Structure 1
């Protein structure tokens, strides 16, 4: 079975579904969430086992291997984004990673996939899609999440080279869809979809981006992100390494608005023209050549299909 830490979370739940579709069973950990998404509920107790777990508790992590035969790990759990001092967040996140890596060694797993983020590319000069081998700035004064993720990538690579199992770093792009947050501080798509379903104008006041029409991002539907993670976790290619996980192209806010209006014709969306004068000036796009080459991955959801799927999910009574 594949262990997914944070397995009842946003990306974790969809990754479980993708692994089930590939014939794998899953152990899903949860910290607080108890709700099982409808697309997993029929498998619970059969191919899915759910465990309450604080991933920062070393012994609790190791004990999972006594209850389940775990053959691989997808580590998505993170410390809660509360008001804890930064030292506490670092200890929780990096301690959890070390617990997972120690468990991988003890259980004899073949591969550990660890969530990273497109945010590690912050400060990299943009000249086209960003490849995994571009040098990353090591400026520790940036947001804590990229700092933690860069550190985790280095720790994972060192363990991969010395402990006998592969570690795959997943640099995940802007992800959206069912179970995701209805409001993002980084891109406007969730706000536009949720407002359209509610019959309201979107609230694009801070901390939301202002939604300039020509600003864009590498936006990837969560079901595609999950399938990419599942393919990387189960791929036959050895050696681990770093993989960009995204759409591989920029989607402009005006394209998002058009797709939302195509699905919800009475949606009220009025985006300011041009690009945000205070924004970064360039859209960050991930080069997914390596992901495609090693797994055969291709995004299955174009923008309108993804918006349709998400709107259907929300209209079915799901609040996220």
Structure 2
């Protein structure tokens, strides 16, 4: 039996593929390579194509004995989603509909979904709990929530069981040093800070230093990408054991400030990291942290790389050896 990983050549997807390969799983990857990289795949059978292409999905499901899906494929830039919501609904929501319909057609009834804590919007509580209100403040978060709701109804109607994993910021790189984070454009804090350390950008912009936090900068969750990969594998195991559909948060439960990230990056790299303080960005909450208590209790998730210095050091190992990402 094979596991289909959509978006498997992307950042978190490729690390999950690596985790699955380590335990001997047969892997099929579907990726349109819009943001993914062939070089990020340490194994598996790659189909280059789009979720919305029925012929590609028919070929993939008919040629492989797939028993479960891990679904990463999606557009994921908050700012872009506000300017081009149609793009996000068509790719994320319609793409997921195409996938679920083909899963049902071919009798595949288990899916692990890479969701986002952006489904919550402005948090009611900190840390955020799975039972808190969902009120996304971006088109991106809204599409992810719509995808979750679609899975709920496919479960009700067709018995397609799902586990949705909501989290904020993946960071770090694989212990082998072979795969890491390479986006164009880059929008995530830790790689942007490391680009500044490498001299690839003149400074790191800090949007607001007057928040109601200990050092005045925003606090966010940062989880090592390999710990996130482990959570997806545990969710797959849970579905294979016959668990019901569920939603879990994945978080550090404490969080780290922007200034902490910059200070530790300076310590890890030994390089100056110029900082430019700018005005707050509209809609940036002071603190975004997700509680992972349920995932720990019910999935047995036990993050092994939660130390911020370790996370940044693994990212630095990748970026310093791959300053141009996967480009030769």
Between the aligned partners of 1:278 and 1:65, the Cα distance in structure 2 is 44
Match of 1:222 in 2: 225
Secondary structure in structure 1 of the residue aligned to 2:113: strand
User: Which runs of 5 or more structure 1 residues have no equivalent in the other structure?
Assistant: none
Residues 206-238 of structure 1: per-residue CA shift (max 9 Å, x gap): xx7457753210111222222211221222360
Question: Are 2:155 and 1:152 equivalent residues in the alignment?
Answer: no
Q: Would you say the 8 A contact 1:11–1:222 is kept in 2?
A: yes
Between the aligned partners of 2:21 and 2:6, the Cα distance in structure 1 is 16
Match of 1:175 in 2: 170
Secondary structure in structure 1 of the residue aligned to 2:204: coil
Q: TM-score, normalised by structure 2?
A: 0.82
Match of 2:176 in 1: none
Residues 232-291 of structure 1: per-residue CA shift (max 9 Å, x gap): 122236012111123232111222122212211232344759x95966453111111111
Residues 153-203 of structure 1: per-residue CA shift (max 9 Å, x gap): 111111122212311222121223322437655x63222122113386523
Of residues 286, 311, 314 in structure 2, which corresponds to 1:306? 311
Q: TM-score, normalised by structure 1?
A: 0.84
Secondary structure in structure 2 of the residue aligned to 1:198: coil
Q: Where do residues 83-98 of structure 1 align in structure 2 (5 Å cutoff)?
A: 86-98=85-97
Q: Where do residues 43-58 of structure 1 align in structure 2 (5 Å cutoff)?
A: 43=43, 48-58=44-54
Q: Where do residues 270-285 of structure 1 align in structure 2 (5 Å cutoff)?
A: 270=275, 280-285=284-289
Of residues 235, 251, 254 in structure 2, which corresponds to 1:249? 254
Question: Are 2:66 and 1:99 equivalent residues in the alignment?
Answer: no
Q: Would you say the 8 A contact 1:211–1:253 is kept in 2?
A: no
Residues 54-79 of structure 1: per-residue CA shift (max 9 Å, x gap): 10112321321111111110111125
Secondary structure in structure 2 of the residue aligned to 1:78: coil
User: Which runs of 5 or more structure 2 residues have no equivalent in the other structure?
Assistant: 173-179
Match of 2:73 in 1: 77
Match of 1:66 in 2: 62
Pair 1:54–1:27, CA change in 2 (3 A): same
